[in-house]
């Protein structure tokens, strides 16, 4: 990709990774992702972040084109140390010998363990409130710890009303477009929500504090540049991105339930359908997700705004089926809040499934609806009625919670 001038003398010099299909354990299929880096041409040519090392040649080519054929980097800003953003940092330092490398205090602590050749680098820690001059422009630094690593920070240039926000407000999106207003709004919302659900969700309390802090700083931002995906351009789009993050972080339940299950001989699958009917009878929107056909990251995207999560599995070797265990382990790490839970399943002879599923959901802090439904071998009419009633009870619990 050629560099793109996003404001006067400020260039996107990132790369598009069309073939990436896994990102931190969640599936990107079929979208791929983007590693964004930005170069500001001023008295001090300043580079904000780098890209994954696999794309070094493309990155260096973009820098050379942005600089007009004679590349030069005086200052380096490292907003985040993760290898998809600092993967080319050692090469940049070796080739351009920047006068200074700026990172957050936590970034300074961790830099050496990522870049073993950094002992003699001119590193300078810039805590929140610090600023530097790069000529006509000032760069202000704001730590955004745990969005989503301890070293993350945001860099803001007030003269251009532009903020480089690192991982925050990003999406995994591969395209030739560079701005959010160039693509369908519903699609970009889905991608933003997907990224939040699978990466940022555990840090929702921190997100709210950070958003409040940014509001308190009264920053005038009309362009928000994340390290993944498309750039938010214009005050309306910037406000939209900030508001989406606030709504995601609040994790308010909706009239929606997600039924997650696996099945061996279709008994648990049929139970899921009967439970769905009970939920729908209470006016609840339902997503039924077989873990054989839906990646755990797709499940989390649906769980993000759900009011309830219902999980089913047959008993398997005195436990639950492996793909269900995978989803529950992944979900627990992302710490969804404000959910109602329920368990169901079938068994042949030992029957531990419902107990194990309940323990998983209780361990995530979900409000359980009882009694869970468990059936030996094949469900009959009475079992389906019990499943329908379980769905109704969960639906009633969602409605009661929303009206409280």
Q: Which of 26-35, 116-125, 324-333 has the weakest average pLDDT?
A: 26-35
Instruction: For residue 295, give its domain range.
Output: 258-398
Q: Which of 248, 268, 296 is the last residue of a domain?
A: 248
- Catalytic member of 35, 75, 156, 195: 195
Which one is catalytic: 17, 151, 167, 227?
Answer: 167
Same domain, yes or no, for 281 and 154? Answer: no
Residues 6+ apart with CB under 8 A from 105: 125, 127, 143
Q: Which of 55, 85, 115, 148 is catalytic?
A: 148
The domain total for the chain is 2
Same domain, 372 and 230: no
Active site residue 80: yes
Question: What tokens does 120 get?
Answer: 């003699």
Number of H helices, E strands in the chain: 12, 25
pLDDT at 373: 86
| Cα–Cα distance, 95 to 112 (Å, whole number) | 19
276 and 362 assigned to the same domain:
yes
Summarised one tens digit per residue, pLDDT across range 208-217 is 999 999 999 9
17, 42, 49, 82: which one is catalytic? 82
Q: Is the peptide bond before 263 cis (omega within 30 degrees of 0)?
A: no
22 is catalytic: no
Supply the CATH number for residue 319's domain: 3.40.50.360
Look at residue 348 and tell me whether its pLDDT is greater than 80: no
Considering the entire predicted model, what is its pTM? 0.93
Alpha-carbon dihedral angle through residues 317, 318, 323, 329, given to the nearest 10 degrees: -140
Q: 294 in a domain, yes or no? A: yes
Look at residue 226 in the predicted model and tell me its pLDDT: 97
Active site residue 156: no
Catalytic residue among 55, 80, 296, 316: 80
Tell me if 131 is assigned to some domain.
Answer: yes
Q: What is the C-alpha to C-alpha distance for residues 52 and 22, in angstroms, rounded to an integer?
A: 14
In this prediction, residue 28 carries a pLDDT of: 67
**Do both 53 and 156 map to the same domain?**
yes
The per-residue pLDDT for 228 is: 94
Which entry of 22, 24, 117, 266 is annotated as an active-site residue? 24
Cis peptide before 148 (omega within 30 of 0): yes
Residue ending a domain, choose from 227, 248, 269:
248
**DSSP strand pairing (285-290 vs 256-261):** parallel
Among candidate residues 182, 214, 248, the one where a domain is terminated: 248
381 in active site:
no
Statement to judge: residues 244 and 268 lie in one domain:
no
- Structure-token match 């009264």, residue found: 218
Instruction: Name 247's Cβ contacts closer than 8 Å, sequence gap at least 6.
Output: none
282, 353: one domain: yes
Task: Judge whether residue 329 has pLDDT over 70.
Answer: yes
Supply the CATH number for residue 93's domain. 3.60.15.10
Q: Is 42 noted as a catalytic residue in this protein?
A: no
| Separation of alpha carbons 252 and 400, rounded Å | 14
184 belongs to the catalytic site: no
pLDDT value, residue 29: 66
CA 3/CA 11 separation, integer angstroms: 6
Residue-wise pLDDT for 298-318, tens only, equals 999 999 999 999 999 998 887
- Residues 282, 310: one domain? yes
Per-residue confidence band for 374, with pLDDT thresholds at 50, 70 and 90: confident
């Amino acid at each position: 990709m050629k560099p793109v001038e996003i404001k006067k003398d400020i260039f996107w010099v990132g790369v598009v990774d069309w073939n990436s299909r896994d990102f931190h354990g969640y599936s990107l299929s079929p979208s791929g992702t983007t590693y964004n880096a930005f170069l500001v041409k001023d008295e001090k040519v300043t580079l904000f972040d780098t890209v994954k090392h696999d794309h070094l040649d493309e990155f260096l080519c973009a820098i050379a084109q942005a600089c007009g054929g004679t590349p030069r980097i005086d200052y380096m800003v490292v907003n985040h140390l993760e290898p998809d953003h600092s993967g080319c940092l050692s090469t940049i330092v070796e080739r351009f010998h920047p006068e200074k490398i700026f990172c957050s205090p936590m970034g300074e602590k961790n830099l050496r363990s990522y870049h073993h050749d950094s002992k003699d680098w001119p590193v300078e820690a810039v805590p929140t409130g610090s600023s530097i001059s790069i000529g006509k422009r000032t760069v202000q630094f704001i730590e955004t710890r745990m969005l989503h690593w301890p070293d993350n920070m945001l860099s803001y240039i007030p003269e251009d009303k532009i903020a480089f926000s690192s991982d925050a407000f990003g999406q995994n999106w591969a395209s030739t477009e560079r701005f959010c207003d160039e693509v369908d709004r519903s699609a970009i919302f889905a991608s933003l929500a997907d990224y939040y659900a699978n990466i940022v969700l555990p840090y929702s309390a921190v997100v709210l504090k950070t958003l409040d802090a940014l509001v308190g700083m009264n920053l005038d931002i009309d362009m928000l540049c994340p390290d993944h995906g498309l750039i938010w351009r214009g005050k309306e789009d910037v406000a939209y991105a900030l508001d989406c993050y606030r709504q995601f972080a609040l994790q308010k339940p909706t009239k929606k339930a997600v039924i997650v299950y696996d099945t061996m001989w279709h008994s648990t699958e049929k139970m899921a359908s009967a439970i769905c009917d009970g939920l729908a009878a209470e006016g609840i929107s339902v997503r039924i997700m077989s873990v054989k056909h839906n990646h755990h990251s797709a499940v989390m995207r649906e769980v993000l705004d759900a009011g309830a999560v219902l999980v089913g599995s047959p008993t398997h070797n005195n436990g639950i089926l492996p793909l269900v265990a995978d989803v529950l382990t992944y979900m627990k790490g992302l710490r969804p809040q404000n959910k109602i839970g329920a368990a169901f399943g079938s068994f042949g002879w030992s029957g531990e499934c419902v107990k194990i599923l309940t323990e998983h959901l209780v361990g995530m802090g979900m409000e359980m609806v009882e009694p869970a439904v468990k059936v030996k071998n094949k469900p009959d009419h009475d079992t389906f009625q019990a499943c329908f009633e379980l769905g109704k009870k969960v639906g009633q619990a969602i409605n009661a919670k929303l009206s409280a």
